[in-house]
Amino acid sequence: MNTILNISPVPHVRDRWTTRFIMRAVILSLVPATVVGIAMNGLHAFYVVLCSVATAVLTEFIFDYFAEKPDTWLDGSAVVTGLMLALTLPPSVPLFIPILGSVFAILVVKCCFGGLGKNFVNPALAARCFLLISFGTLMTTYAVDGVSSATPVAMLMEGKAVNVTKMFLGVPNDVIGSSTACMLLGGLVLWAMDIIHGEICFSVLASFALFVGIFGGQGFDPKFLAAHICGGGVVMGAFFMASDYATSPVSKLGQMVYGIIIGVLGGLFRLKSGASDSFSYSIIIGNLFVPLIDMFVYPKPFAYTKKGIASRSGAVQAKKSVKDLVPRPVLVLTVIALIAGAALSGVYAMTKDTIDAQKWAANAASFQAVLPDAVSFESDPAADKALEELDGAVYGTAFGRATIKQVVAGKDESGSLVGHAISVTSADGFDGNVTLSVGIDSSGTVTGISFTELNETPGMGMRVDEPAFKDQFNGKSVAKFTMNKAGGSTADNEIDSVSGASTTSGAVINAVNAALDFYQSVVKGAM
């Protein structure tokens, strides 16, 4: 009998489950959410998933080939990354978005840091954050049957009612993987198989719910908490993103601390930030805390007493200076950030008055364009009071994401009232905010519109600034305008959309309608 012991360097295999088996289990657990997402959102959602997964696998294959590394793309991790990224994307995004995101996730976040297990943040989430920063409008435009609308979480943040049942089941109007029921089912299966750690998943959900319950303004209302948990990728983040082996702590206590950090940050971003889908950032930040957690939160070593652990850890920490505990690059980046922040603050303070003066000049020119008979503009007390009560919130529920920015009364040389100019911003533009001034005379007739912020696609969305579109509003006295995509409108309340730019056209029409409604309900009502 051969009694020779085989000695090998760590890590030692201590489980029968291989990487390939775990990745296949994760893929299968994501299949229900993927199927429901495609069924709910249509064929384009399938193309998004296909492009994301195929690009992820192809990118890792090409990297392995040129870097002369083993064929790591066969372990299934690239499929998992591509699939998870696709499920976090809106179903209507152009196909270059998942392609670019998968290349970034695999090549930059994974391969450039040494491959599977060596990445310091979750590749799919890092790619999603990269896309959110680079293509903010495309990543936050959710369309159903070609009509843009706000996500359930965005509506919830605006104080509007949402259907929790639909959010739980995953109806359209969110990301592809919006089915909380399917995500929860897949996550619980992985937890039951001990593939993911319950300490992470449940501490994320519990701390998030607790934070929202305490600071959300509605207490621990079950429907309110359920709506927040079912939206914004909270369940997917807790079970599939935060639980990534490479980017989560080792010890059980460390995993709970890590989960609490993510949950609290997720609640903070949800309640206090302007973005409805900011849970991704809380997990990325949590990933960055992992080395620190593993340094200070560790399990009790075998055969050590509490006194021995305390004395040993104290002796070790005593030998380490702050310079040893905090890596030098972190110190350097902190100093650079402080200097840059101070410099930017100084520049802003010096130029703030100039910037405000330029903004007022631009608004004044816009007001003059829509009220040409006015020679002076004054504030309107009733409008100012209403704007103060709105406090920058979205105006009404029938005008998309339109906000009333400013209202002034235009007067002629004799001091008589000519009309009102109302500045409105719509966040529903295809490539960003659309801000315009709407002129309304004393009889309630629209005298014109003028843009002060328009960053739409040249040759398409930018065509709303052409007379052929803008002049359709002039001289019309209606309660509300509607968009006509077919063209050839004859009714006063119909506006022909710009061909190929119905999203931008709709944003402008919603902004004008918001101005008309504000004029009728606030300004005219106070006269």
Q: Is pLDDT above 90 for 8? A: no
First to last CA, the chain: 104
Residue 341 lies in a domain: no
Residue 1: pLDDT over 50? no
Summarize the confidence of residues 405-433 as an average pLDDT: 87
Residues 65 and 133 in one domain: yes
Do residue 120 and residue 242 come from a single domain?
yes
Q: What is the pLDDT of residues 479-510, one digit of tens each?
A: 899 998 888 878 888 999 988 888 889 999 99
Quick one: tokens of 106? Answer: 């695999």
Same domain as 433, residue 291: no
Model confidence at 322: pLDDT above 70: no
Residue 77 shares a structural domain with residue 160: yes
Residue 470's φ and ψ, nearest 5 degrees, are: -60, -40
Phi, psi of 337 (to 5 degrees): -65, -40
Within a domain: residue 362?
no
Query: Is residue 211 in some structural domain?
Result: yes
User: What is residue 99's predicted lDDT score, i.e. its pLDDT?
Assistant: 94
| CB distance 403 to 393 below 8 Å | yes
Q: For residue 133, what are the contacts with CB-CB under 8 A and spacing of at least 6?
A: none
What are the beta bridge partners of residue 402? 426
Residue 323 lies in a domain: no
Bin 68: left if φ > 0, else alpha if -120 < ψ < 50, else beta: left
Contact by Cβ (8 Å): 183, 33: yes
Whether the pLDDT of residue 148 is over 60: the answer is: no
Domain-located, residue 322: no
**Which residues have CB under 8 Å from 172's CB, separation 6+?**
40, 41, 91, 144
Beta bridge partners of 496: 484
Residue 82 banded pLDDT, cuts 50, 70, 90: very high
* Start-end of H helices in 371-428: 381-390
Last residue of a domain, one of 284, 316, 348: 316
pLDDT mean across residues, the chain:
81
- Element spanning 405, H or E: strand 402-411
User: Token pair of 186, please?
Assistant: 């897949």
Is residue 365 a part of any domain in this protein?
no
Residue 104: CB atoms within 10 A of its CB come to: 21
Cα(361)–Cα(452) distance, integer angstroms = 11
Cis peptide before 372, with omega less than 30 degrees from 0? no
Question: Is 478 a residue whose pLDDT tops 70?
Answer: yes
User: Domains in the chain: how many in total?
Assistant: 2
CA atoms of 5 and 85, how far apart (whole Å): 44
| Shared domain check, 256 and 193 | yes
Name the β-bridge partners of 483. Answer: 495
Same domain, 92 and 226: yes
Between strands 446-454 and 494-496, the pairing is unpaired
Which DSSP string corresponds to 26-59?
A: HHHHHHHHHHHHHHHH-HHHHHHHHHHHHHHHHH
Q: Are 436 and 449 in contact (CB under 8 A)?
A: yes
Instruction: Tell me the CATH number at 205.
Output: 1.10.3430
Q: Is the pLDDT of residue 154 over 70?
A: no
Q: 279: closest CA among 265, 289, 290?
A: 265
Do 309 and 379 fall into the same domain?
no
Whether residues 300 and 429 fall in one domain: no
Residue 251 lies in a domain: yes
User: Using an 8 Å Cβ cutoff, are 457 and 503 in contact?
Assistant: no
Residues 400 and 272 in one domain: no
Question: Which of these three, 279, 299, 316, is where a domain ends?
Answer: 316
Copy the structure tokens of residue 512: 């004008």
Shared-domain flag, residues 293 and 389: no
Structure tokens at 524: 């005219």
Domain contains 330: no
The answer for 159, left when phi > 0, alpha when psi is -120 to 50, beta otherwise, is left
d(CA 115, CA 106): 9
**Domain's final residue, options 286, 316, 346:** 316
With 0-12 / 13-18 / 19 or more C-beta atoms within 10 angstroms meaning exposed / middle / buried, residue 88 is buried
In a shared domain, residues 277 and 404: no
d(CA 100, CA 130): 10
Question: Mean of the pLDDT values across residues 430-450?
Answer: 88
Helix, strand, or coil (residue 336): helix
- Residue 300 is predicted with a pLDDT of 62
Question: Are 312 and 376 found together in one domain?
Answer: no
Q: Domain limits at 115? A: 19-316
